[in-house]
Each structure stands twice: as C-alpha cells, then as structure tokens.
Chain A
Amino acid sequence: MKTLDQTTDEVLNLAAQHFKVPRDKLNSGDDFFKTLGINSLQALDLLTRLEQHFSIELPDYELQDVSDFRTLAERIQSRL
C-alpha cells in the first residue's frame, strides 16, 4: 500500500511529465489549474491519466472542489 506522500509524489511526477513542467516547480499545495495553466478539458485529460496510472476509477464530481495536488492525491489514495 502506497503512503499518501508516495501517491502525491507520483501525481506530481505524472503532471510534470505530461504537461511539460519542471518537476521541481511543482509543490503538493499548488493549485494545479494555475501551476499547470490547464483548462477543464486538460483537467479531464489529467484525470484519465491518473486513473490509468493508479488503475482506479475516480468520478469527476469527487474532484469538483479539488484544486491542489495534495487533496487530489488524498482522493486517489482513498480508492487504492
């Protein structure tokens, strides 16, 4: 079982790789819409990649009030 820190790190790595942002520019408390500069369609793209990476299903309504990587990782962690 992954720890929350491990999950958060994997989320940050995946986001950095896909959206071509230096990994060291991303922090767990960052607003990913602002930091990554993404729109709602790109957020859905990120959701799909996270579902594939962690082999989970994450209903998008669970992410409606989520904008930082740490909370996103918590939602993922609850489904691992």
Chain B
Amino acid sequence: MSLDRAPCNEIGSLALAEFEKFAAALPALENSCHALIISSARSAGFCAGADLRELYTESQKLAMGERVAGLHEFLERIHSVMNAIDAAPLTTIAAVHGVCFGGGFELALVCDLIIADKMARFCFPELRLGLIPGFGGIPRLKRDLGNGVVRDLLLTGRSMNATKAQTVGLVSQVVAEGDALRVARATAAQINKFDRGTASAAKAFIKPIPYEELRREIEIFCELFTRPAVEAGLRKFVENTGPLPYLP
C-alpha cells in the first residue's frame, strides 16, 4: 500500500475511504500473499498524521453535539481499518522515511515490523494541541514498548529519530537514506519462504490487539475534543502561516 497524497499523506475523510477499501480487500489477499508493505510515495515522509485542517474546518460547520458524533464515527471507522491491518494474518511492514507523526505513527504501529530510513522521525504531537492520539496510538505503543518511553513520547510531544527509535525497540531496522522500501521488500522476500499458517499462528500468539484500551481511547479523545482549549489550539494551528507549525 503506497500512500500518495500531498503534502504528506494527511489522513482525512478521503484517505479514510481509501483505507476502508483496502481493508475490505485484505481478506481476499490473505490467500495469495505473505506480506504487506505500507510505504509513502511522498518525499516529505511516511505520513504527517490526521488532516487537522479538515478536522477543524468541518467541525466548525457543526454544533458541538454533532461535532462529537461525527468525530466518534470517524474514529470508529479508522479504528476498524487499523484493527483489520493489525489482525491481518499477513506479516505487515511499515517502510518509513521522513515524517511519521501522529496518525501516521499510529498507522506504522499497526504493522508487525517498522523499517526506517535513517532520516525518519517519530512523534505524537497531540498533547501539544490538547488532545491524545486517537487512531490507537497509545495502546499499541504500550503494547510494544516500555511505559517510560511511552510517557516520554506522549507527555513531551517530542519527536524521536530513527536511531533512538531502534534503541528503544520501536524500529526493527534502520537503513540508509532512501532505502527503506527496498529493505522492506527484501524482508518480505525472506518472510515469503515461511509457511503462512505457521507465521500467522506466531503472529496471533505474540501480538494481541488491546481492544478494550482502544475503545477507551476513542471515548477519551471525544471527551477532550469538547474542551475550548482544543478548538483554540486547532484554530491557531490551522491559521498559522509561520515557518513552523503552531505546536506549543
């Protein structure tokens, strides 16, 4: 699956609809494929996360009750997609370069392996706008990493380079600039040698999906979204024209 939407694969309603089509096609692929690679065709990076401009402008058209209902529905849909990829019996690989922020980071986290170009950066900036990651990021990060690293990424909102991400156990391989997709394909070729049933059984055994926490995350996100500080933060982010995005 190649992400290719300018400027950096922001995830809005259009991307979600495409993801849903992809998720719906997955069961048919499971019989003929061993591995799934998710990568980006955009030079800026893997994915900059949710489309905050769309989130802000669309929510402004609605009363608060409708906003939350619409947001809840969006989150339910994106969680369904993420859960489908997470649970797919295929071995899944995120080939990451450049920016891997917010919802993009959450997409990478559903994959079994993350192969990162040495220029990749990972970040959960949501708290800087008064929110938490909403596409399953915290439960999946907690599944994979120690709680100290989760708190560092979440509570400071700082970005982490690929080398550090490998040191903490997030990234399986750090590769030369521009080489992530090639290495992901080589890894997929190795995976292709294994019995699919055995690989699927191993994955199901070692990679539980934290459904309960994922559900709770949606509720917390929607609760936080009603706060005036979030609207103010999103407005500053959207209206900012400086060289750096508004992120306190």
Identify the A interface with B (CB < 8 A): 33, 38-41, 43-45, 47-49, 51-52, 57, 59-61, 64
Residues of B within 8 A of A (CB): 8, 44-45, 98-99, 118-119, 121, 123, 156-159, 161, 163-164, 243-245, 247
Whether B156 and A44, one on each chain, are in contact in the complex, defined by CB atoms closer than 8 angstroms, is no
Q: Is the CB of A38 within 8 A of B243?
A: yes
If A40-B243, A40-B245, A41-B45 touch, whether A61 touches B161 (CB-CB below 8 Å) is no
Alpha-carbon distance between A49 and B161 when the two chains are bound, in angstroms: 10
27 A-B pairs within 8 Å (CB atoms) are namely A33-B243, A33-B244, A40-B243, A41-B8, A41-B44, A41-B45, A41-B98, A43-B244, A44-B99, A45-B98, A45-B119, A47-B121, A48-B119, A49-B119, A51-B163, A52-B118, A52-B161, A52-B163, A57-B164, A59-B156, A59-B158, A59-B159, A60-B158, A60-B159, A61-B156, A61-B157, A61-B158
Which residues in B have their C-beta under 8 angstroms from that of A52? 118, 161, 163
Q: Which residue of B lies closest to A59 (CB)?
A: B158
Whole-angstrom distance between the alpha carbons of A59 and B125 in the complex? 12
Q: Give the distance in Å from the alpha carbon of A46 to the alpha carbon of B51 in the complex.
A: 24
Of B118, B121, B164, the residue contacting A44 (CB under 8 A) is B121
- A37 CB to nearest chain B CB (Å): 10
Cβ of B161: which chain A residues have Cβ within 8 Å of it?
Answer: 48, 51-52, 57
For the complex, give the distance between the alpha carbons of A38 and B164 in Å. Answer: 25
Q: How far is the CB of A44 from chain B (nearest CB, A)?
A: 6
Report whether B156 and A64 are in contact in the complex, using a CB–CB cutoff of 8 Å: no
* Distance of A47 Cα from B161 Cα, bound (Å): 9
CA distance A61 to B128 in the complex (A): 10
CB-based nearest A residue for B43: A41
Question: Closest Cβ of chain A: how far from B135's Cβ, in Å?
Answer: 21
Instruction: State A44–B243 Cα separation when bound (angstroms).
Output: 12
Q: Which residues of B contact A45 (CB under 8 A)?
A: 98, 119
CB-CB under 8 A from A41, the residues of chain B are: 8, 44-45, 98-99
Excluding A44-B121, A51-B163, 16 further A-B contacts by CB distance (< 8 Å) are: A33-B244, A39-B243, A40-B244, A40-B245, A43-B244, A47-B121, A48-B118, A48-B121, A52-B118, A52-B161, A52-B163, A57-B161, A59-B156, A61-B158, A64-B244, A64-B247
Q: Which residues of A contact B98 (CB under 8 A)?
A: 41, 45
